[in-house]
A = this chain, B = another copy of it.
């Protein structure tokens, strides 16, 4: 296996686990949060910014990189690591989520693959398991994802059954066409919606295959929070203990804590950088909207418990000013802060598991952040 997973410790009271992943570009402990670098950059940031907050693995979006600059150019540059000057680990998705989430643009799903229109120029494009593997091989990520269908919520049982079966067939084709097995790992993606027997069937089929890890897909697509937790409750026990588990597209503090409790190791989300661009910070006392007039003369840091570059050097009043003045620097500073928040959260989770106090830690964060079960941002 190109990707090594070491299970360091299991929480005695929950399914939470402390582990360690080694990729061709480094080793890091799990649970881990991965910042999203959609278009070959974690928006506004460079390597040094990410290293300073302890980021060991970031995500690249296959669909976006395929469209711009094109996987051929990234390959010619020597791969995504060299192109972007990032020498730690990179995970790429399969492109499937983007193709299916740009639903209005998509053509029919056929056994062979999906025809759809490029979201920027309307050009017709075709994506299949083989093409997704080829693009990801060109990008040269450390961890690749199988090309799957990610149906929206709700989807009928019938639809989901057909879709899941196809996703399983596609997963086999991905494994077969993956051309750089010695250099890049490949995760299978568990689909099945909110139907326990379909999730079970998908787990059974995919875990027979030599994947480096397993992603749990089709969640965080509009279903209620309880349902997400329920799916995790019955899905993670069906996954092997010696391989990493990745919950795709999840990155709010509450959802990370809930999923770790249910045995998930890896997370990614555009949340920290996206809300940064809207002037929102994740802090130890919850979300903070920097454009709020009350921060105009607030000469204290964004988050007094935070030690990131933004909090060590700037005040809320300065960030408020930058936001009102439409200065791009504020997105850079808030992105550093928000990603750091999630990296420190996952670091706190790891330490809590190590010290047998995960549930206490979770409760503490929920309380501190002002999270409750009805919280939409959970």
A39 within 8 A of B: yes
- Which residues of the partner chain B approach A297 to less than 8 Å between Cβ atoms? 73, 76
Within 8 A of B (CB), among A4-53: 39-41, 43-47
A102 within 8 A of B: no
Q: How many copies does the complex hold?
A: 2
- Which residues of the partner chain B approach A84 to less than 8 Å between Cβ atoms? 318
A69 within 8 A of B: yes
Q: Is the CB of A314 within 8 A of B45?
A: no
Kindly state the separation between the CA atoms of A331 and B328 in the bound complex, as whole angstroms: 9
Q: How far is the CB of A242 from chain B (nearest CB, A)?
A: 37
Q: Is the CB of B318 within 8 A of A83?
A: yes
Q: Is the CB of A83 within 8 A of B317?
A: yes
Contact of A321 among B43, B69, B318 (CB under 8 A): B69
Within 8 A of B (CB), among A313-329: 313-315, 317-318, 320-322, 324-325, 327-329
A332 within 8 A of B: yes
Q: Is the CB of B332 within 8 A of A77?
A: no
A372 within 8 A of B: no
A234 within 8 A of B: no
Kindly state the separation between the CA atoms of A309 and B85 in the bound complex, as whole angstroms: 11
- Which residues of the partner chain B approach A327 to less than 8 Å between Cβ atoms? 39-41, 43
Q: Is the CB of A321 within 8 A of B44?
A: no
- Which residues of the partner chain B approach A309 to less than 8 Å between Cβ atoms? 46
- Which residues of the partner chain B approach A322 to less than 8 Å between Cβ atoms? 39-41
Q: Is the CB of B85 within 8 A of A321?
A: no
A68 within 8 A of B: yes
A296 within 8 A of B: yes
A299 within 8 A of B: yes
Among A69, A296, A324, A331, the most chain B Cβ lie within 10 Å of the Cβ of A69
Q: Is the CB of B299 within 8 A of A76?
A: yes
Within 8 A of B (CB), among A70-103: 73, 76-78, 83-85
What would be 10 A-B contacts, judged by CB atoms less than 8 Å apart?
Answer: A39-B322, A40-B318, A46-B309, A46-B329, A47-B313, A69-B325, A73-B296, A83-B317, A84-B318, A328-B331
Ranked nearest first, the 9 interchain pairs of A and B with the lowest CB-CB distance are: A69-B321, A39-B325, A85-B313, A41-B329, A44-B328, A68-B325, A328-B328, A41-B327, A44-B329
A46-B313, A68-B325, A73-B321 known; 10 new pairs, CB 8 Å cut-off, are A39-B327, A40-B321, A40-B327, A43-B327, A68-B324, A69-B320, A77-B315, A83-B317, A328-B328, A328-B331
